[in-house]
Structures are given as structure tokens and as C-alpha cells.
Amino acid sequence: MEEMPREQQVKFYQKGTYTVGNRLVNAKSRAVQSSITRNNSLTSGHRACQGCGEALGARYAIDAAMRACNNRVMAVNATGCLEVFTTPYPETSWQIPWLHSLFGNAAAVATGVAAATRVKGKPEIRIIAQGGDGGTTDIGFGCLSGMFERNDDVLYICYDNEGYMNTGVQRSSATPPTARTATTPAVGKEPGNVFGTGKNLPRIAMAHGIPYVATASVAALHDLEAKVTKAMSFRGARYIHIQVPCPLGWGSSPASTINVARLSVKCGLFPLFEAERGEVTSSVPIRNPIPVIDFLRTQRRFAHLMKGGEENERKIAKLQAIADENIRRYNLVRKEV
């Protein structure tokens, strides 16, 4: 198989940081991102906000996928921030074949692209569909479930920033309880998003019995890359759900995107795990769990919870209970070995 002439030299301006994948460690343990020959599938010049977690997550994931399958990747994108900030006509930040059709059909379009590559006798080309949490858990859910159920040969990546960010931060079914959005404002009897709603898409994906499901975080680069690489080693329907903080929607500092993502994992609200054919096969342990309030405090969308009072205490406790339940379910806090 001939090498595709896609790789380009990346200029790193940092001296060595965790975000570019530990260029200071030995060569084997380095991340794809730390390599100057990384693909930069989503290259610079796009129009994401400063500190956008989605822009980071997409580059991490697609570069890892490109590395894993010899640069033979095509992507289908749902409407949303990622699509809008990467392709303002006539510019594009995508260095790979890329197709945007609609908000709710990325999974089905990807099924079509995959079918075409098969009939064209090019099964070595791998197809990725990607979208935001709204395009995945809400409007695109029907197409996604169909793609899963048919076990179509597509990796679907959801960049979860917990809301409809492109349209100005409205609630999605991935918005956490109590979070303030433009359609769950922090006013009235129950400020912010309500408890007892929303859906857990990784678990729904698992219920389809598809070969591979994983969650990942932009704060855990090696883990994210390893999961994408693993996903590309399977054929059939695969799903990776990446948490990507959105400074604009979350009201967090653009400089602290990675930190916010890390706190979300460390408190147990966003568990990192893998599942194969519906069974959890691994989870990333949390070494020193932090209380959820340390995560909540970093974002203005939870500011109304910080005003004290019994009611707010009760809500924070309920969020803590969700984190605790994740810790129990995925065995996130383990005895030292």
C-alpha cells in the first residue's frame, strides 16, 4: 500500500507540555500529537473560540485515526460548531476528504460513504462520522441508532460540550442537571437544567451490542489516542464519546479548558471507560477523587449553585451522588496495587 503524501511538518512553539503529548518522555510513550509528523487533519486557521475543547478533541481524534490506518480516513460531519468553525466558505481547515450534509444525518451519510468505498473495492478507506452532542444524542439519534443496529463500518465520534453551542448555548439531552443554558436559565424555582432528564449515549450505544464503545477526554490525550487507535482496529459500528469543554457555553476560562476537562474526570462526573459488545472492559482509575464542587466552581454555568443555602447544598449533593454512582459503576477508585 502506497503512503499517502499527507503528512506535514508541524511547528511547535511550546517547549514541552502535556497538551502536545509529552514530548519529553521516551519516543515510544509519546502521543501522536507530540510528533512533528502528525497529520494536523484539522489544521490551524479555523474560527473556533479561544480554548475550544471541540477543536482540540477533533484534531486529537482524527490525527490518531489517520496514524492508525495509514492516513486513509474520510470524515462526515454533522452541522454544529465543528462544522461551522472549520469550513467558512471558501476556506477549510480539513486536510482530509470531508463531507457535511445536515445536522441530523451524519451517521447515515457515513454509512453511505462506507458502502461506496466497499463497492468501489477500497475497503482500506476508513470512515468517521462526527458531531456535537446535540447532533448525536438528539436530532441525529435515529440515524445513529440505525447505523449501530446495522453494524455499519463507521466510527462515530461525539464531541460532547453538553449543549447546543453553535446556536448560542441551548440545552441538549447531554446538558447536566443544574447547568445554566439559554433555554434552562438560572431563574425561577429550579434554576438551570432539571434533574432526572437527559440520556447517557455511551450506555445506549453499548445496548446495541456494537464492537466498541469508549468515552474519552481532551484532558487524557494518551488515553484518547489509544481508544481511537483501538477503535480503528475493529470493523463494524464503533462509538467514542469525547468530553470537550466549551469556554463560551460553560463560562470557563479559555486557558483552563484542559484543567476543567480533567476536573470533570477526577470528580467522577465524566467516567472514562471502554466497552466491547456491550460489556465494560476497562476504566481509567481516578487516583485522588475530588469533590464535584471543585469542578462546578470552575464554570459560570453552575454559578447559581455557589450562592449557598440549603437548596443549593442539596443540589450539589445530588450531583455528588451522580459522580459517586459513576465511581461505583465503573470501579473508578481502586485500592493501591
Partner 1 sequence: MLKQIEGSRAVAEAIGLCRPEVICAYPITPQTHIVEGLSELVREGVIENCEYINVESEFAALSVAIGASAAGARSYTATSSQGLLFMAEAVYNAAGLGLPIVMTLGNRAIGAPINIWNDHSDSMAMRDSGWIQLHAENNQEALDLHILAFRLAEEVSCPVMVNVDGFILTHAYERVDLPRQEQVDAFLPPYEPVQVLDLADPVSIGAMVGPDAFAEVRYLAHYKQLMALERIPVLSADFREKFGRESGGLFHSYRCDDAEVVVIALGSVNGTIKDVIDEMRSGGYKIGSISITSFRPFPLVALREVLSRARKLVVVEKNLAVGLGGILSSNIRMALRGLVQPVHTVIAGLGGRPITMKSLAEVFHKAFKNELEDTHYLDLDWNAINRELDRSRAARRSGPIAENILRDLGGIEKRA
**What is the binding site for ligand SF4 (CB under 6 A)?**
48-49, 52, 54, 81, 85, 161, 165, 246-249
- Beta-carbon contacts of 190 under 8 Å, excluding residues fewer than 6 positions away, are none
Binding at 192: pick from ligand SF4, ligand TPP, Mg ion, none (beta carbon under 5-8 Å per type): none
The Cα 55–Cα 33 span in angstroms is 13
Binding at 49: pick from ligand TPP, ligand SF4, Mg ion, none (beta carbon under 5-8 Å per type): ligand SF4
The Cα 118–Cα 110 span in angstroms is 12
Q: Which of 21, 53, 57, 131 binds ligand TPP (CB under 6 A)?
A: 131
What is the number of residues in the chain? 337
By the rule CB under 6 A, 63 interacts with ligand TPP: no
Least distance in angstroms from the C-beta of 169 to ligand SF4: 7
The DSSP bridge partners found for residue 276 are 279
Q: Which of 40, 86, 172, 243 binds ligand TPP (CB under 6 A)?
A: 172
The Cα 7–Cα 23 span in angstroms is 18
| Residues of this chain that bind partner 1 (CB under 8 A) | 4, 6, 71-72, 74, 76-77, 83-84, 86-90, 92, 94-102, 104-105, 108-120, 125, 142-143, 145-146, 149-150
Which stretch in 93-101, 157-165, 189-197, 255-263 sits in contact with Mg ion by CB under 5 A? 157-165
Nearest to 78 by CA among 48, 95, 99: 99
Task: Identify residue 264 by its one-letter amino acid code.
Answer: S
Nearer to ligand SF4, 111 or 166 (CB): 166
Least distance in angstroms from the C-beta of 80 to Mg ion: 6
The Cα 182–Cα 172 span in angstroms is 11
Helical residues (DSSP H) of 156-251, grouped into ranges: 201-207, 221-232, 247-250
Ranges within 104-123 binding ligand TPP (CB under 6 A): 104
Neighbouring C-alpha atoms within 13 Å toward the C-beta of 165: 28
Least distance in angstroms from the C-beta of 40 to partner 1: 12
Binding at 332: pick from ligand TPP, partner 1, ligand SF4, none (beta carbon under 5-8 Å per type): none
The Cα 147–Cα 98 span in angstroms is 19
Nearer to partner 1, 120 or 189 (CB): 120
Cell numbers at 150, concatenated:
446495522
Cell numbers at 38, concatenated:
502528525
Nearer to ligand TPP, 132 or 191 (CB): 132
Cell numbers at 316, concatenated:
450539589
By the rule CB under 5 A, 132 interacts with Mg ion: yes
The Cα 230–Cα 53 span in angstroms is 22
By the rule CB under 6 A, 135 interacts with ligand TPP: yes
Pairing of strands 279-283, 273-276: antiparallel
Least distance in angstroms from the C-beta of 140 to ligand TPP: 8
Nearest to 285 by CA among 267, 272, 274, 295: 272
Task: Identify residue 250 by its one-letter amino acid code.
Answer: W
Nearer to ligand SF4, 165 or 220 (CB): 165
Nearer to ligand SF4, 106 or 327 (CB): 106
Binding at 74: pick from Mg ion, partner 1, ligand TPP, none (beta carbon under 5-8 Å per type): partner 1
Nearer to ligand TPP, 21 or 132 (CB): 132
Least distance in angstroms from the C-beta of 114 to partner 1: 8
Q: Which of 60, 164, 212, 330 binds ligand TPP (CB under 6 A)?
A: 164
Q: Give the other-Cβ count within 10 Å of 183's Cβ.
A: 15
